[in-house]
Amino acid sequence: MTDVSSPTHNDDLQKAAAFHGHVCPGLVFGLRAARAALEELGPRALDEELVAIVENDSCAVDAIQALTGCTFGKGNLIFRDYGKQVYTFFNRTTGNSVRIAIEFKKSESPEDSGMWERYKKGDRSPEVIEAVARIKAEKVRAILESPDDLIMRKSEALETLPNAARIYPSARCSACGEAVMEPRARIRDGLPVCIPCSTR
**pLDDT surpassing 60 at residue 3:** no
Class of 7-104+146-155 in CATH: alpha beta
Please state which CATH number belongs to domain 168-200: 3.30.60.20
**pLDDT surpassing 50 at residue 4:** no
- Its pTM stands at 0.85
What's the rounded mean pLDDT across residues 178-186? 96
Residue 138 CA to residue 87 CA, distance in Å, equals 24
> Where in the chain do CATH 3.30.60.20 domains reside?
168-200
64-82 tens-digit pLDDT: 999 999 999 999 999 999 9
**pLDDT surpassing 50 at residue 139:** yes
14-37 tens-digit pLDDT: 999 999 999 999 999 999 999 999
Q: Are strands 50-54 and 77-79 parallel, antiparallel or unpaired?
A: parallel
What's the rounded mean pLDDT across residues 108-131? 93
CB atoms closer than 10 angstroms to residue 178: 11
- pLDDT reported for residue 5: 47
Residue 6 CA to residue 160 CA, distance in Å, equals 34
pLDDT above 70 covers a percentage of the chain that reads 96
> Where in the chain do CATH 3.30.1330.130 domains reside?
7-104+146-155
- Edge-first strand listing for the sheet containing 86-91: 77-79, 50-54, 86-91, 97-102, 152-155
Cross-strand bridge partners of residue 186: 193
